[in-house]
Structure 1
Amino acid sequence: MGMRAIATKLSLSAQTVEKWRRRFSLFGVQTLSDAPRRGAPRTHGDEKIAEIIELTTTTSPPDGSTHRSTNTMAARAGVSPSTVARIWRTFGLKPHLVETFTVSNDPRLHARR
């Protein structure tokens, strides 16, 4: 059966069929589901990711800041700012956005003139 006929029968593109044929010819049937992927392997495990998520969601920003930045979180967690940004983006965390209104307890704000 030709590549186009297989693609049509399985509702796939011809490129997808060609990719799987190539993987089969290189690695055999045993490795089709575990074929090598592109990109570098992860450098931080699930524990580090969970730590960053927990720090982001349960701790206050440092030094009285209004929000946490990727730089401050990276310094605290011992990773790069791009790693923090990638984790926040993956898990939909946006600590720089304020979701609630907080009344300031600063007495200078409430001082009468």
Structure 2
Amino acid sequence: MPKEWTDKQERQYEHITDSQKEQGASPERAKEVAARTVNKNRARAGQTKTASRSSVEDKSPQQCGGQRSGRKGPKGPTRDQLYNEARQRNIEGRSKMSKSQLAAALDRKKNA
């Protein structure tokens, strides 16, 4: 675990990792989910040098509770997450695109 994490964040990481494994996730996936959760909470608390807009403005991992992981309600990444990926891939016109348009543009870029 990174040295910047507090004892509480390390305990949270271990708890999430164990919980994910109990739910059937692979050890690698469990560690990834736990690290992302702790790091997002750190970003929301202002404990990191940089933080994405979606980390700061989106729901906390505890509030989200798997809403975007194949359950009812909104599925897949948020529009902001798609926009950030489109920005990284230099997709033109991204600022005027809707969520579905961003997803389609990213799919075209990946398949090209």
Q: TM-score of the superposition, structure 2-length normalised?
A: 0.29
Pair member with larger Rg = 1
Q: Which has the higher helix share?
A: 2
